[in-house]
Amino acid sequence: MGKADFLSPKAISNRIKSKGLQKLRWYCQMCQKQCRDENGFKCHCMSESHQRQLLLASENPTKFMDYFSDEFKNDFVELLRRRFGTKRVHNNIVYNEYISDREHVHMNSTQWETLTDFTKWLGREGLCKVDETPKGWYIQYIDRDPETIRRQEEQARKKKQDLDDEERSARFIEEQVRRGRGGKELDETPVYTELKRETEEEKVAFNLGASSSVAGPSRSSSVIGKSALSASGSTATKRKDMFPSSDSKEKKKKSALEEIKEMEEKRKQQQSVRTDYWLQPNIVVKVVTTRLGERYHKKKAVVMEVRDKYAGVVKMIDSGDKLKLDQNHVETVIPAPGKRVLILNGPYRDTEAVLEGIDEKKFCANLTLDSGKYKGQRVEVAYEDFSKLA
């Protein structure tokens, strides 16, 4: 019986059936041929082409198995890294996405018999963190890319610097409070003493001046008035000693403390609005990954589109090629002073600004905001939180 014509209904039906995934036991990895049923697989195994491939494999079977195992491992780990990053995910979810590609390397041609064995091998080799749960095995990719490690070290160093700033601010506040108390400790309380007379015959008298309004004060009344004034003066002095007054100093000290607290609250609010994704369209970035070769390494590109917050389509400035890259494979670009930039993270996110200068010691730049409600304000922004506008 001759072969059906290319446009015949039977040929079209055969092509439609061969598009989808078939059973793994009816796939020949050596010939890269998928059979639809057991009879077709049996016929393929008896064919001359399959026998020639078996003869080649019999000469060095370990070589072919190692090749297929490496291909399977590399493709699986690359999909795990690109699709899920360092997130913890069920191994069966990753495997289902991997086998959705019809041209993938099948597991029956590798050194691992089951997905569980392969998952355990990833954990022993240190490529992933694996743990077993009642729902199955979970894996988590361990990123050892030098660029990622460098960024993590920079973030840790910056976090430590922020903690040091908080400690210095706390010590400064404590010093201001201590100076306001005049060196006294917090647990000190005022001591109240009993009001005592200097002599037993001393009398406290009050002269209202009613009898002296016409004839003038007599000697006795004036003496009594002086003694009353002195007694009242001494009493007032003792009361001042018991209740010291420092209203003006307290007001000044209170305003200074309030300013420091407001600065601390403002800084904490700025830290709380940060996100772990920063890609934005129409900015210039630099490709830092070496996986694409020297052709694109350290070359600049323009972000054309952002996908899933963490990935974007970029267009190379030199060649015009379009690539889809993760944000970990690019970094921000700092232009010359006077150029326009876009703030990508922090409280001034999505705000355009003008670069005024760079502070190398603090790893930040001085920017003048050029849009939004804070237009005209000058702020300090870290290197990784802004990039040049295209």
Give the tens place of pLDDT for each residue, 54-84: 777 777 777 778 888 888 899 899 989 888 8
pLDDT at 25: 65
Cα gap 284→335, rounded to integer Å? 10
- Confidence bin at 315 (pLDDT 50/70/90): very high
In 3-state terms the chain splits into helix, strand, coil percentages (rounded to 5) of 45, 20, 35
Question: Average of pLDDT values for 23-34?
Answer: 70
Going by pLDDT thresholds of 50, 70 and 90, the confidence category of residue 157 is confident
Question: At residue 217, does pLDDT exceed 60?
Answer: no
Q: How far apart are CA 288 and CA 286, in angstroms?
A: 6
Which H or E run includes 61? helix 61-84
Q: Where are the beta strands (DSSP E) in the chain?
A: 27-28, 33-34, 88-90, 128-133, 136-141, 284-287, 300-307, 311-316, 322-326, 330-332, 340-343, 352-359, 364-369, 378-382, 386-388
Identify the band that residue 314 occupies on the pLDDT scale cut at 50, 70 and 90.
Answer: very high
Distant-in-sequence, close-in-space partners of 112: CB < 8 Å, separation ≥ 6: 69, 72, 118, 121
What's residue 12's pLDDT?
77
Buried (b) or exposed (e) across 145-164, using 16+ Cβ within 10 A?
eeeeeeeeeeeeeeeeeeee
State the average pLDDT over residues 196-205: 62
pLDDT tens sequence across 85-109: 888 999 899 988 888 776 778 787 7
Residues 33/36/37/39 CA torsion (nearest 10 deg): -60
Dihedral, 168, 169, 171, 175 alpha carbons, nearest 10: 130
> Structural domains in the chain?
21-141 (1.10.10.2030), 167-184+247-272 (no CATH), 284-388 (2.30.30.30)
**Each residue of 240-250: pLDDT tens digit?**
444 444 444 44
- Report the C-alpha gap between 143 and 160 in whole angstroms: 22
pLDDT average, residue stretch 207-216: 48
Average pLDDT over residues 261-279: 73
Q: 283 - beta bridge partners? A: 389
Q: What is the pLDDT of residue 247?
A: 47
Reported confidence tier of residue 220, pLDDT bands at 50, 70, 90? very low
Contact (CB, 8 A) for 30 and 64 = yes
**Residue 272: pLDDT band by 50, 70, 90 thresholds?**
low
d(CA 47, CA 245): 107
Higher pLDDT, 15 or 133: 133
